[in-house]
Amino acid sequence: MSGTDDLLVEADRLAAELDRADPPTLLDVRWRLAGPPGRDDYAAGHLPGAVFVDLDTALCGPPGAAGRHPLPDPAALQAALRAAGVRAGHPVVVYDGGDGMAAARAWWTLRWAGHRPVRLLHGGFPAWVAAGLPIDTDEPHPAPGDVTVRPGALPVLDAGEAARLAAGDGVLLDVRAAPRYRGETEPIDPVAGHVPGAVNLPAPEYVTGGVFPAADALRERFAAAGVGDDRPVGAYCGSGVTAAQAVLALHLAGRPDAALYVGSWSNWVADPARPVAAGDTPAR
C-alpha cells in the first residue's frame, strides 16, 4: 500500500527540509480555471525559492479534440521542468492555492513523466501561511535541471479504454459535481451528461479544501462507489485536473494502479458519435 510519506508533505516538515543544504525543488502551480493567472498570486508572495510553473502552458498540451488539458508534448515538458530547475532523482514539492487540484495534476504529470520523488504540499499555500512560515516575493533563477521525461510511468485512459471500464471491465469514476454528472447543467463543455456506466463520486466526497482524510476513510469512500482491490479503476472530470486529484486520493487509499482519463469529458464530447448518459444512475 502507498503511504503518505512519498505523496504528501505537511508545511512544518517541508520548512525543515528547506533548511537543508540541498532542499527539494519547489514548484508553485497556482491556477484557476477562470483566472486570473496564477502568476499574479505568485508575484504577490510565494514559498521561498519556489519557481512558478504554469499548468495550462507548461504542464499540459494545447487544448483541442484531445481535451482542454491534454498530455503535454514530452520534449516541451522536459524543457519546462529543466528551466524550473528539476533535477533527475531530486525531490520536488508542488503546491497550489489550497484546493489541491492544480498541485495534484502537477504531481501526476511529473510521475507520469517518470519523476517519482514528487510530493504535494498538503493544504497548499494557505497551510504554509497558517503555519506562520515565511513568504517571499523575489523570483529565483535556478540552475537548469537535467531531468529526463520518460512518459508512461502512470496509467492513462483514452476514450475507448474509459468506455470499457465503465461498461463493466472495472470502475470509472466521474468526480464532477452531481448536477453536471446528471446532465442538468454544463458550464464549460458543449454537451451535458456523463460517460454511460460511470459512477459519480464528486470530489468533496474524498477531499475537503485540499485536505485528504486518513487512508482508511478514503478506502471506505471509494469502496462505497464500487472500488475494490480486484477491479481496475479510472477517473475523469471535465478536463483531467480534478480527476488527477482523485488519482492521488486513490494512491493514498492503496491503489497506485488507478488510471487517469486525461482528456476526460472535454475529450469524450469532442466526438459526437460517443454516447452520453444523463440522470442519477450509471446505466450502461
Q: Which residues are catalytic?
A: 237
Strands in 92-95's sheet, in edge-to-edge order, are 8-9, 118-121, 92-95, 25-28, 51-52
Report whether 7 contacts 248 (CB < 8 A).
yes
Residue 4: predicted pLDDT? 59
Closest Cα to residue 265, out of 247, 283, 248, 240?
240
Domain residues of the chain, as ranges? 8-130, 156-268
Q: Where do we find the cell 524543457?
A: 79
- DSSP letter string over 10-40? -HHHHHHHHTSSSPPEEEE----TT-S-HHH
Q: Are strands 92-95 and 118-121 parallel, antiparallel or unpaired?
A: parallel
Residue 1: predicted pLDDT? 33
pLDDT tens-place string over residues 19-32: 999 999 999 999 99
Q: What number is the average pLDDT over the span 182-206?
A: 97
Residue 230: predicted pLDDT? 86
Q: Class of 8-130 per CATH?
A: alpha beta
In angstroms, how far apart are the furthest CA atoms of the chain?
56
pLDDT tens-place string over residues 79-136: 999 999 999 999 999 999 999 999 999 999 999 999 999 999 999 999 999 999 999 9
Q: Which residues contact 115 (CB under 8 A, 6 or more apart)?
A: 81, 86, 88, 92, 147, 149
Residue 251: predicted pLDDT? 97
pLDDT category, 33, cuts 50, 70, 90?
confident
8-130 and 156-268: identical CATH topology? yes
Report whether 266 contacts 236 (CB < 8 A).
no
What is the architecture, at CATH level 2, of domain 156-268? 3-Layer(aba) Sandwich (3.40)
Closest Cα to residue 117, out of 97, 92, 149?
92
What is the Cβ-side half-sphere exposure of residue 6, based on CA atoms within 13 angstroms? 12
pLDDT category, 164, cuts 50, 70, 90?
very high
Q: What number is the average pLDDT over the span 234-248?
A: 98
Residue 283: predicted pLDDT? 61
